[in-house]
Amino acid sequence: MLRSVRFNSTQAGLEKTALHDLHVELGGNMVPFAGYSMPVVYKGQSHIESHKWTRTHAGLFDVSHMLQSSLQGKNAVNFLHKVTPTDFQQLSPGVGTLSVLLNPNGGIVDDTLITKQSEHDFYIVTNAACAQRDSQFLLSELQSVADAKWTPIEDRSLLALQGPDAHRVLKPLLDWDQSLTDLYFGQRRTYKLFNGVYIDVARSGYTGEDGFEISIPNDSALEFAQALLDNQLTKPIGLAARDSLRLEAGMCLYGHELNESTTPVEAALSWVISKSRRNVTEGVRFNGYDKIMDQINNKTHKSLRVGYKYQTKGPAARTGTKIFLPDGKTEVGHVTSGSASPSLDNLNIGQGYVLKPHNKRGTNLLVQVRNKLLPIELVKMPFVPSHYYRG
């Protein structure tokens, strides 16, 4: 199985999503992930088959282990402006954006998708593996902010339907007068299903394909998932393909590309730092403002997240693999994620951090795998074209 994340098979004491029994029924190979029992792959379809099916048809992912939450109150925007570098005042209602939670040193506590539902109401999704720490961080930061309340959402499941046929699968389940054609990438809206259940649909995902992330009441999740899978265009997809899909899309995985010692500038995520928040003379400054702005203005960061591809055949570089200059002696970085790419004829690709000035695209370097030095080239990400729906 090709993957850049290792999955353990022990099951004791794990949480279960509302779809757990369905995963088992479908032949899911259940493994621990972020405290939950989750399917890594399903019987009758390999990791590579699952990956390619999502790229060409529609894949259904259970991502209910991720933390959904709500932030409400008159000071909700001010709070977000303290813990993230993104401008949520200017964001239109019904629109979401990727951002990062920042600690006082400008390090990334977690990456997050935040949707503005109204002026004082925001919907937040953060990573499952960081749920406890994120909760503690947000509650701690809220102690200094009045009129803002953060609440975990525990009665809803979260499903991701990804791939070029995703809209063809979802549309027949919506009430007759509702359309997906005017729901564009980054937008979120409430829809009514034919059975009367209301779902919140965001046109977003973790694969680089068109698709939806759908929040639905727990007691309706099973019937809805089964209805999606009844369509021959849809197959259930597990964690292994989810990881290789996000790697091809050039997306970060917390704990690999991102951590509390890494700033968004170093992580090549400067685009989440809104231009309107880069010269704050009055009002709220985001955590780590001085350090991050120094990196932007004076280029004081020492390393940068990069993408690479192999220039020869060989075993994939994994997390922690050292990166060297062509002399084979001077270490200049390390790999954070690496795998063979199912979409690129199993060409080995990956991400890592490389010291300046050796982090420019087109630079030839070496990775040390099993005591062998293998040539790589730094390249632009994503590794495969994105297909976000923009109308």
Residues annotated in a binding site: 213
Give the Cα separation of 345 and 165 in Å (integer): 23
Which residues, 6+ apart, have CB-to-CB distance to 135 below 8 Å?
A: 67, 152
Q: Is 159:213 a contact under the CB 8 Å cutoff?
A: yes
Q: Is 193:199 a contact under the CB 8 Å cutoff?
A: yes
Q: Which of 371, 372, 377 is nearest to 354 (CA)?
A: 377
Which residues, 6+ apart, have CB-to-CB distance to 299 below 8 Å?
A: 356
Place of tokens 């090549």: 268
Which residues, 6+ apart, have CB-to-CB distance to 282 below 8 Å?
A: none
Give the Cα separation of 149 and 133 in Å (integer): 17
Cβ burial, residue 179 (10 Å; 0-12/13-18/19+): exposed
Binding site, annotated residues for substrate: 213
Q: Is 196:205 a contact under the CB 8 Å cutoff?
A: no
